[in-house]
Structure 1
């Protein structure tokens, strides 16, 4: 009798483990996490310098900029949209912040102005997408050129230098051994996680991406939340731009070229559906880390940048294929 009872208990435990495993497999971060582990282990085996503390810290610092931008991009993609203007908005916010400090404005006020400009640009995108009902890819492609043009006009095409030395702390400083850009990235992701997973706003964002018409019929003010999403995208681009400006100690009007593609890649590699409605902010962080580890490992191995682009493109295509297969 005791043997039968023990067998039943074992069967129940085995069944619970299967349920948990199946639940974990359905998570949007399951495959991205496996992909990250595979790439991390491969790079560690390929180069002895990869696992050094200084190199891993360097990877995190390099990843932080793209990862911050990818937070806003995640929100846009979750609604079924996209934001191609994040790179130029990042440059505009960074150069404006730098220029205002050089003109004598206190760093705190200059930073607030830079954040405001990024948020306003995002709001402009949101108005055209949400209220004028224009395609997001067209709207943000247009504002991409506008933001870059404004950054070049404001600076005359030259970097803005002569920033206050104390401003460098934001991009180069450390707290308890952790670099400030990494801490900023962590704070942004914690706030985004709370927003998307613990508030009604997050539920509405997922609902809009899953079925916009159904969300509208359910009483969700779709236009309002789309506007909010693009404002968040502009804000995170501005944060990244200011952190990068602090790290370089100059406002670069050509900063952020191609960053929008890296941000989209991070979101897609993180398991988000490009059509919207499915994804996780933790997955985006994993996707950004995947890109960072891949770039760093290939650089340490001396792989040509041209070949690196081919490898990254192939991995992104594979991620999209896996995502579509899971959706079906």
Structure 2
């Protein structure tokens, strides 16, 4: 059996989470552990977690997806227009999911088929489509969310949706070839290609997953605010990406990508925002500054300890080989 030994990098996000929670526990006088506040933290984390459940497939590749915010907005606005034009409220769900999957498919094809770096591709789509969304909303106005689906804003309904989606994505990410291939590509794309991994196909599928979860987040957001808004999806992609990286996933992806890390990162973000409000600092600038500093610190120590673990692993392997030769 292989002895992996103690790997500090695995525990840094958990330690950070515990320390931050303890700091705000003291600073808020215990307000952050009140039942109503714990429920609020979980409620506020759901949309970020749902978006991350698809995006983590992309991050595992060593890529990024900056389009999930605009996908959230586009799927919400266009599906709402379809419902208003047809009068068929049930169309809100399939049309939103279809638009989300379509955006992911488009992005995946551009990135994989044309070999354009993911950051450049997704950033260009983000900028271009934001202009399209603003034009559509200027001409068509805002739209209300169908009353038939207002149940989606109930806390119990959101928890059920999250649990079902998380279970499905964990299964795909951890136990199917798709998830394993994503991590293999992130570790070494050339080696993955050499052993027969369909890199282009997996990359496209990953972006489709990212688009689908962004559209689900769009439905929950519209159910919460009552419809579309001009700021819908703005900075959503940053929230999701920060949650993933705060959880200890490296930008290079690979085997560092784990869904439990997304959960840790999402709750860490929400606790920071919630704790600052409880302490009287409601300014978004303060919240973003704290998250930025924390992200840099966690990434620094995660990378440092990951490198240290790799060096120890190589050293142990060299000793094992030398021992085998001596025998």
> C-alpha displacement at 1:207, in angstroms?
0.2
Q: Confirm or deny: 8 A CA contact 1:126 1:230 kept in the other structure.
A: yes
- Say yes or no: does 1:169 pair with 2:147: no
Alignment partners' CA distance in 2, 1:163 and 1:212: 43
Alignment partners' CA distance in 2, 1:26 and 1:187: 31
Superposed CA RMSD in Å reads 1.9
Question: 1:254 aligned to 231, 245, 251, which one?
Answer: 231
- Say yes or no: does 1:75 pair with 2:57: yes
Question: 2:188 aligned to 199, 202, 211, which one?
Answer: 211
Do the aligned partners of residues 157 and 36 (structure 1) sit closer, same or farther apart at CA in structure 2, a change above 3 Å counting?
farther
- Say yes or no: does 1:294 pair with 2:275: no
Alignment partners' CA distance in 1, 2:230 and 2:140: 7
Q: Confirm or deny: 8 A CA contact 2:72 2:100 kept in the other structure.
A: yes
- Say yes or no: does 1:95 pair with 2:72: no
The equivalent residue for 1:9 is: none
Question: 2:168 aligned to 187, 191, 194, which one?
Answer: 191
- Say yes or no: does 1:40 pair with 2:21: yes
> C-alpha displacement at 1:104, in angstroms?
3.8
> C-alpha displacement at 1:148, in angstroms?
1.9
Q: Confirm or deny: 8 A CA contact 1:157 1:253 kept in the other structure.
A: no
Q: Indicate the larger mover: 90-99 or 283-292.
A: 90-99
Question: 2:122 aligned to 140, 153, 158, which one?
Answer: 140
Question: 1:270 aligned to 234, 240, 247, which one?
Answer: 247
- Say yes or no: does 1:224 pair with 2:201: yes
Secondary structure of the structure 2 residue equivalent to 1:250: coil
The equivalent residue for 1:181 is: 158
Which string of whole-angstrom CA distances, capped at 9 and with x for unpartnered residues, describes residues 214-248 of structure 1? Answer: 00000001000000011111111111111101111
> C-alpha displacement at 1:32, in angstroms?
1.5
Alignment partners' CA distance in 2, 1:315 and 1:159: 39
Give unmatched runs, 5+ long, in structure 1.
Answer: 1-18
> C-alpha displacement at 1:270, in angstroms?
1.1
Alignment partners' CA distance in 2, 1:126 and 1:162: 31
Secondary structure of the structure 1 residue equivalent to 2:31: coil
Using the size of structure 2 for normalisation, the TM-score is 0.87
Q: Confirm or deny: 8 A CA contact 1:158 1:253 kept in the other structure.
A: no
Do the aligned partners of residues 157 and 233 (structure 1) sit closer, same or farther apart at CA in structure 2, a change above 3 Å counting?
farther
Alignment partners' CA distance in 2, 1:322 and 1:187: 33
Q: Confirm or deny: 8 A CA contact 1:72 1:229 kept in the other structure.
A: yes
Q: Confirm or deny: 8 A CA contact 1:32 1:271 kept in the other structure.
A: yes
Which string of whole-angstrom CA distances, capped at 9 and with x for unpartnered residues, describes residues 46-78 of structure 1? Answer: 213211211111111111111111222211111
> C-alpha displacement at 1:108, in angstroms?
2.7
Q: Confirm or deny: 8 A CA contact 1:195 1:201 kept in the other structure.
A: yes
Question: What count of residue pairs does the alignment treat as equivalent?
Answer: 302
> C-alpha displacement at 1:142, in angstroms?
1.3
- Say yes or no: does 1:238 pair with 2:229: no
> C-alpha displacement at 1:251, in angstroms?
1.2
Give unmatched runs, 5+ long, in structure 2.
Answer: 308-327
Secondary structure of the structure 2 residue equivalent to 1:50: helix
Which string of whole-angstrom CA distances, capped at 9 and with x for unpartnered residues, describes residues 300-327 of structure 1? Answer: 1012432222211110001110121122
Q: Confirm or deny: 8 A CA contact 1:159 1:252 kept in the other structure.
A: no
The equivalent residue for 1:128 is: 110
